[in-house]
Amino acid sequence: MPQYKAPLRDIKFVMDELLDTPAHYANLPAYADVATPDMVDAIINEGAKFCENVLSPLNRIGDIEGCTRHEDGSVTTPKGFKEAYKQFVEGGWPSLAHDPEHGGQGLPESLGIVMSEMVGSSNWSWGMYPGLSHGAMNTISLHGTPEQKETYLTKLVSGEWTGTMCLTESHCGSDLGILKTKAEPNADGSYAITGSKIFISAGEHDMVDNIVHIVLARLPGAPEGTKGISLFIVPKFLPDANGNPGERNKVVCGSIEHKMGIHGNATCVMNFDGAKGWLIGPENKGLNCMFTFMNTARIGTALQGSTAAEASFQGALAYAKDRLAMRSLTGPKAPEKAADPIIVHPDVRRMLLTQKAFAEGGRALVYLTAQQNDIVHGAESEEARKAADELLGFLTPIAKAFLTEVGYESTNLGVQVFGGHGFIAEWGMEQLVRDTKIACIYEGTTGIQALDLLGRKVLMTQGQSLKNFTKIVHKFAQSVEGNAEMKEFIEPLNAINKEWGDLTMKVGMSAMKNRDEVGSASVDYLMYSGYATLAFLWARMAYIAQTKLAEGTTEVDFYNAKIKTARFYFQRILPRTRAHAVTMLAGADSLMSLEQDHFAF
């Protein structure tokens, strides 16, 4: 199993040099005094130690042992998980980026994302237990009553309790408008929640004293479809007068799903049998409130794509440096050995550089979205908050879908670098493939995200959200105009930035005649958008590296690697947009003309 090592130098590069995080925090009054450079460094360094020394060794254990459900519906997590969570809580990590009013440390969301990245790369299954709580906290914070915040938020922030999101039912996945779970009013103002939810990550476990379920259900007489869904807090144990776990509620784990991966996380079927719950937000506005949770989870899922690429890259790189096979085509590179290390072979380099480009580019994209989130919550100017929110809305489906797709690709490349050994479980590379595939599916599949991007975020705004971003790209390109060393990056970046708008207009015109044109183009459009977005970020990273080298930095190897990886991205990865440009304009007919019955053979 690859032993995770936190990529601290690259994390600091993205934070301090690419995104100028010190100035970013200093300009936000809520964080200026708490997120000082020394504090940020200390948090990241201590978080790295926890992830490297505590979580990484448990990753394979979690995959082998999985979770165990007992007769009474209780669940035992893999060996060491509970103890690691206790250390996590004692270290104050759950409260890092939450409001001090409820016990949080008041640090910015973007710093929490850095910790989440290290947790995810070291042990994704374990990280899902506190990870789901984050969305529950945000939902209660924004939509809960003062009493709900006092009862539940303080315990969630401290990490004493964890949270879940209970949306999906066996007959409905992303189409929540047809859910059947019922909420009947009780005389005391609570509701009796009845129904079954599936695919509930961290739905039951032994790591905390109580679990707070955030549940979608339908009130009596509610309108059909999504307009008739309400949101409820349903705790595993009903809090007593002192806010401690009291009477057992009527919600139980019916089974644990038998999954392709993430075995260390208890993905449960949760049965609610008249369980007592309390309404969050207005009646029949549950889906609106739940989007707080879902959007938080989508950025977290985007992170899984880049963490998977990082973890697989680390394993593949170490193996490629050590494994001997054949001689280099240009002559022996290790003549004293029986063969050369496989890292000398061009195709192995292709795979490693692809992983590196996606891991480091993905990190830059996720941190950029997190920075926008900071501005949304911490900027004094309404104009700044609005602009950041619009940019975040545009980037979220790209980050979620694109990064999970290329993250999954990266884990498969990791197996390929290992050859036959990659197919063997002991090396841990195939686990990364299995663990990562779900990221392309949950929190909205790639297809769902693509429709959100093209249909809602771009076409429904008459392309304004895209224009806002392409203006940012254009301004950067203008700022380095005349720089000969940047020509190899800026020329293709300018071309794709212009083509992005042209393609959008063509798809939009076709969609005016046939709405299926949106669905037929959407995934290609999203992937094109992802490659274009990473091109912008890689061009910026190359420019920073060139500037540092010109200034006479002592870290010559680090900055040269940035430029060469950027060059690889532009020459070997960005051309994938050519195929996406063609297929997104191919039209819906080739997809829709075949009669359903003719699919059979």
pLDDT tens-digit series, residues 295-352: 667 888 899 999 999 999 999 999 999 999 999 999 999 999 999 999 999 999 999 9
Average pLDDT, the chain: 95
In this prediction, residues 581-600 reach a mean pLDDT of 94
Residue 584 CA to residue 596 CA, distance in Å, equals 22
Tokens 């807090």, residue?
233
Residue 150 annotated in active site: no
Q: Which of helix, strand or coil describes residue 199?
A: strand
| Residues sharing a CB contact under 8 Å with residue 311, sequence separation 6 or more, in sequence order | 2, 4, 121, 122, 432
Residues 6+ apart with CB under 8 A from 215: 166, 181, 193, 197, 231, 232, 233, 234, 272, 277
Contact at 8 Å (CB) between 520 and 440? no
Tokens of 294: 């879902």
Q: How far apart are CA 462 and CA 465, in angstroms?
A: 8
Q: Where are the domains of the chain?
A: 290-443, 453-590
Q: How many CB atoms are closer than 10 A to CB 548?
A: 18
**Distance between first and last Cα of the chain:** 43
- pLDDT band, residue 600 (cuts 50/70/90): confident
What percent of the chain is modeled with pLDDT above 90? 92
Q: How confident is the model at residue 292 (pLDDT cuts 50, 70, 90)?
A: low
The fold of the 290-443 domain, in CATH, is Butyryl-CoA Dehydrogenase, subunit A; domain 3 (1.20.140)
| Residue 448 pLDDT > 70 | yes
Strand, helix or coil at 97? Answer: coil
Tell me the pLDDT tens digit for each residue of 457-496: 999 999 999 999 999 999 999 999 999 999 999 999 999 9
Q: What is the pLDDT of residue 521?
A: 98
Name 212's Cβ contacts closer than 8 Å, sequence gap at least 6: 136, 152, 155, 156, 161, 162, 163, 164, 233, 234, 235, 236
Largest CA distance in the chain: 83
Q: What is the pLDDT of residue 288?
A: 83
Where does the pLDDT of residue 280 fall: very low under 50, low under 70, confident under 90, or very high at 90 and above? very high
Whose CA is closest to 157, among 233, 201, 102, 231? Answer: 102
Say what the pLDDT of residue 173 is.
67
Instruction: Name the residue with tokens 């934070």.
Output: 15
Per-residue confidence band for 294, with pLDDT thresholds at 50, 70 and 90: low
Mean pLDDT on 348-373: 97
- Decide if pLDDT at 398 tops 90: yes
Is 447's pLDDT higher than 70? yes
pLDDT of residue 50: 98
Helix (H, G, I), strand (E, B) or coil at 201: strand
Annotated catalytic residue within 443, 488, 491, 595: 443
Question: In angstroms, rounded to a whole number, what is the distance separating the alpha carbons of residues 202 and 86?
Answer: 16
Burial class (CB in 10 A: 0-12, 13-18, 19+), 471: exposed
* DSSP codes joined into one string, 246-268: EEEPSEEEEEE---SS-TTS-EE
Show Cβ contacts of residue 456 under 8 Å, excluding neighbours closer than 6 positions.
Answer: none
Mean pLDDT for 516-540 is 98
pLDDT on residue 172: 81
Helices (H) and strands (E) in the chain, counts: 21, 11
Contacts of 271 (CB under 8 A, 6+ apart): 196, 251, 252, 253, 254
Tokens at residue 417, please?
């670098």
Cα 344 from Cα 334, distance rounded (Å): 10
CA distance 505 to 589: 19
Say what the pLDDT of residue 257 is.
96
Q: What is the mean pLDDT of residues 37-66?
A: 98
pLDDT (mean) for 237-244? 96
User: Quick one: average pLDDT of 80-91?
Assistant: 98
pLDDT mean over 218-234: 94
Whole-number pLDDT of residue 532: 98
pLDDT at 311: 98
Report how far residue 61's alpha carbon sits from residue 79's, in angstroms, rounded to the nearest whole number.
7
